Chains A and B, each alone.
Chain A
Amino acid sequence: MSDMPADPAGRAGYAAGHPPRVGFFTDTSVCIGCKACEVACKTWNEVPEDGLRLTGMSYDNSVGLGASTWRHVAFIERSVASGGTIPPEPPLLTGGLPVPPSSPEGGGPDVTGDIRWLMSSDVCKHCTEAGCLDVCPTGALFRTEFGTVVVQQDVCNGCGYCIPACPFGVIGRREGDGRAWKCTLCYDRIGSGLEPACAKACPTESIQFGPLDELRERAQSRVAELQRAGNGKAQLYLDGEGNGVGGAGAFFLLLDEPEVYGLPPDPVVPTRDLPTMWRHVALAAAGLAATAVALSLGRRR
């Protein structure tokens, strides 16, 4: 099942000896919502504060990914009383994965009274076919030797094209700065053999960093385990190559449908359709030229 990950770095022209493609596997079933990843990311990358507000969205006050939020922890409240739609608790004592402390009543740590949470730390997907990178007119966005996607801040002119080209709404333009910013997968850290700050800080190993092929194998066995344990909605999101972005450097194990977490259920990189668009543009342009010239060259009165 776990096919070899695509090699976007090789396709971008890095020689055969380039490092293996790395990425994140975010296993949301063990996330405890501590936001250590958010804090570690902000601290290491010196990402400025982007608004201090109470949103009323459960414990989520950072709202979503953007120019100044490169890790975002989503909190979805599920009322246990309402029944029916609540997925069963994920089994915690499995697969050699770390075990978060259980409460004395035997519920998981994400159960309080009649509410349970789905929590998930979102991040840039470092797509194999990255819309942001494809459309960037300045070359500020580039593919690294690790297969990740990074903005060169000294080149970006703030045209904003990358922003609607991302099917996940990840990248944003920073107010007052005028340039586009997003997760770099800690390009500076991984270049020196360190793991990204968020993965380092995550106390439950919900965020796992490593070569993508290894992560995919681990994810397959983890999701199979959860499903065996009765968690029918447990699913891998963006694993493998068979999705609309040709595979992602960051993929997820979710306990409900992607849209519940604010993720698009079937994202497609817009540039897949660009050849067709160019064809129609060429036809329309030719039609315009022929018509205008024919009409104005026509007989004079």
Chain B
Amino acid sequence: MVPEATFSSYYGRPVLKEPVWRAPDVPGYLFLGGLAGASSVLASGAHLSGRRELARVAKSGALGAISLSAVALIHDLGRPERFANMLRVFKTTSPMSVGSWLLAGYGPVAGAAALCDLTGKLPRAGLAATLGAGLLGPGIATYTAALICDTAVPAWHEGRREMPYVFAGSAASAAGGLGLLATRPPGARPARDLAVLGAAVELVAKRQLVSRLGGLAEPYEAGRTGAILRLAEVLAAGGMAGAVLGGRSRLVSALSGASLLAASAATRWGIFEAGMASARDPKYTVVPQRERLTRRARGAADGPGPPRGGPIG
């Protein structure tokens, strides 16, 4: 058995302040932004290759998801009536500022793309809007990784290298999943491929993230959060299998799509909760920092220290 690392704290109180961000607003925001952004990319491809049904599903999905995510974002503000202050300045040091500007550009074009498609009006403007949304979509889907990792929250900050890939994969699998759910199988082919590939990237990157964290993996694995993330893996695996094997059946396709959408949402939820848990417990702040100091002191004395991430008691 690994001996429990001992550490000091002030009456067990957290060193950090737990984010005031609430569920379901914020995990919902992360999920919906991914769904919207990746759907817009899918919509561009589908539009250009003449897959009208899939393009319509993806464009409407993007509009619906981004509208809901904006509601979630504003609802989570302490002063919702001041949401417009988000566009008061532009700061690359603030992922939330960058994200607000992205959203301000993306929202209207995604809306225009969907409305032109649904009404059949202004096809040229519709094409331009579709491509515009497709261009901004990947940013919308992934900037949220920087948003949560650019904090002192240990489980997020230390996962910063893999998080963008987890989010990109998760977004692709959600958008593909929606395509599978709402499109008849022959036309859903690109959605299926995107969903399966996205889910695979999400699974691998998530595993990679957790395994690199050492002792900080605990918040991702323990308790209810661990259960949510395991559920996400089961749903993703099931969805992938269904999408690949049952591709000809409308029902199996739809169920697989729903399963992948749920997997993506559960992933975001689990990552959100893991961060919150790591902020609440001082050991996740103190122990890695102590180890870093020890390594630095030892490194100064006799070259590089042991690899990062020992157990956290």
Q: Do A and B come from one complex?
A: yes
Is A49 part of the contact surface with B, judged by Cβ < 8 Å? no
The answer to whether residues A273 and B157 also contact, given A66-B17, A131-B152 and a CB cut-off of 8 A, is yes
Q: How far is the CB of A182 from chain B (nearest CB, A)?
A: 11
By the criterion CB–CB under 8 Å, are A169 and B141 in contact? Answer: no
Binds B, one of A3-11, A20-28, A90-98, A282-290: A282-290
The answer to whether residues A284 and B142 also contact, given A139-B88, A166-B17, A271-B150 and a CB cut-off of 8 A, is yes
By the criterion CB–CB under 8 Å, are B190 and A298 in contact? Answer: yes
Chain A residues with Cβ below 8 Å from B100 are 137
By the criterion CB–CB under 8 Å, are B142 and A140 in contact? Answer: no
By the criterion CB–CB under 8 Å, are B49 and A300 in contact? Answer: yes
Within the complex, which residue of B49, B139, B198 is in contact with A297, where a contact is CB–CB below 8 Å? B49
By the criterion CB–CB under 8 Å, are B77 and A262 in contact? Answer: no
The answer to whether residues A270 and B42 also contact, given A137-B86, A160-B19, A178-B79 and a CB cut-off of 8 A, is no
By the criterion CB–CB under 8 Å, are A276 and B88 in contact? Answer: no
Chain B residues with Cβ below 8 Å from A138 are 82, 85-86, 88-89
By the criterion CB–CB under 8 Å, are A265 and B78 in contact? Answer: no
Is B290 part of the contact surface with A, judged by Cβ < 8 Å? yes
Q: Which residue on A lies nearest to B147, using beta carbons?
A: A161
Is B194 part of the contact surface with A, judged by Cβ < 8 Å? yes
Question: How many residue pairs bridge A and B at CB < 8 Å?
Answer: 260
Q: Could you tell me the distance between the alpha carbons of A139 and B96 in the complex, rounded to whole angstroms? A: 11
Q: Which residue on B lies nearest to A178, using beta carbons?
A: B78
DSSP majority for the B interface?
Answer: helix
Q: Could you tell me the distance between the alpha carbons of A136 and B150 in the complex, rounded to whole angstroms? A: 12
Chain B residues with Cβ below 8 Å from A76 are 10
Q: Mark A103-144, 1 if CB is under 8 A from B, else 0.
A: 000000000000000000000000000010011111110000
Chain B residues with Cβ below 8 Å from A266 are 289-290, 292-293
Within the complex, which residue of A136, A268, A297 is in contact with B48, where a contact is CB–CB below 8 Å? A297
Chain B residues with Cβ below 8 Å from A136 are 91, 94
Q: Could you tell me the distance between the alpha carbons of A166 and B153 in the complex, rounded to whole angstroms? A: 9
By the criterion CB–CB under 8 Å, are B151 and A293 in contact? Answer: no
By the criterion CB–CB under 8 Å, are A158 and B79 in contact? Answer: yes
B195-225 residues with Cβ-Cβ distance < 8 A to A are 197-198
Is A173 part of the contact surface with B, judged by Cβ < 8 Å? yes
Chain A residues with Cβ below 8 Å from B41 are 288-289, 292-293
- Count of chain A residues near B, Cβ 8 A: 75
By the criterion CB–CB under 8 Å, are B15 and A259 in contact? Answer: yes
Chain B residues with Cβ below 8 Å from A260 are 8-10
Within the complex, which residue of A164, A259, A296 is in contact with B151, where a contact is CB–CB below 8 Å? A164
Chain B residues with Cβ below 8 Å from A294 are 45
Q: How far is the CB of A183 from chain B (nearest CB, A)?
A: 14
Is B64 part of the contact surface with A, judged by Cβ < 8 Å? no
Q: Could you tell me the distance between the alpha carbons of A259 and B139 in the complex, rounded to whole angstroms? A: 39
Chain A residues with Cβ below 8 Å from B91 are 134, 136-137, 139
By the criterion CB–CB under 8 Å, are A163 and B19 in contact? Answer: yes
Chain A residues with Cβ below 8 Å from B97 are 137
The answer to whether residues A135 and B164 also contact, given A167-B152, A270-B150, A286-B138 and a CB cut-off of 8 A, is no
Chain B residues with Cβ below 8 Å from A262 are 9-11, 13, 15, 282
By the criterion CB–CB under 8 Å, are A265 and B138 in contact? Answer: no
By the criterion CB–CB under 8 Å, are A157 and B194 in contact? Answer: no
Is A229 part of the contact surface with B, judged by Cβ < 8 Å? no
Q: How far is the CB of A135 from chain B (nearest CB, A)?
A: 5
Within the complex, which residue of A55, A168, A292 is in contact with B42, where a contact is CB–CB below 8 Å? A292
Q: Could you tell me the distance between the alpha carbons of A268 and B149 in the complex, rounded to whole angstroms? A: 13
Is B44 part of the contact surface with A, judged by Cβ < 8 Å? yes
The answer to whether residues A280 and B161 also contact, given A135-B94, A158-B77, A285-B142 and a CB cut-off of 8 A, is yes
Q: Mark B154-196, 1 if CB is under 8 A from A, else 0.
A: 0001001101110110011001000000000010011001100
The answer to whether residues A165 and B152 also contact, given A137-B91, A276-B160 and a CB cut-off of 8 A, is yes
Is A52 part of the contact surface with B, judged by Cβ < 8 Å? no
Is B146 part of the contact surface with A, judged by Cβ < 8 Å? yes
By the criterion CB–CB under 8 Å, are A281 and B17 in contact? Answer: no
- Tell me the B residues contacting A by CB distance below 8 Å: 7-11, 13-21, 37-38, 41-42, 44-46, 48-51, 54, 76-80, 82-83, 85-86, 88-89, 91-97, 100, 134-135, 137-139, 141-143, 145-146, 149-153, 157, 160-161, 163-165, 167-168, 171-172, 175, 186, 189-190, 193-194, 197-198, 279, 282, 285-286, 289-290, 292-293
Additional A-B contacts beyond A64-B13, A156-B79, A265-B286 (7; CB < 8 A): A131-B151, A134-B94, A158-B82, A260-B8, A287-B168, A288-B37, A295-B194
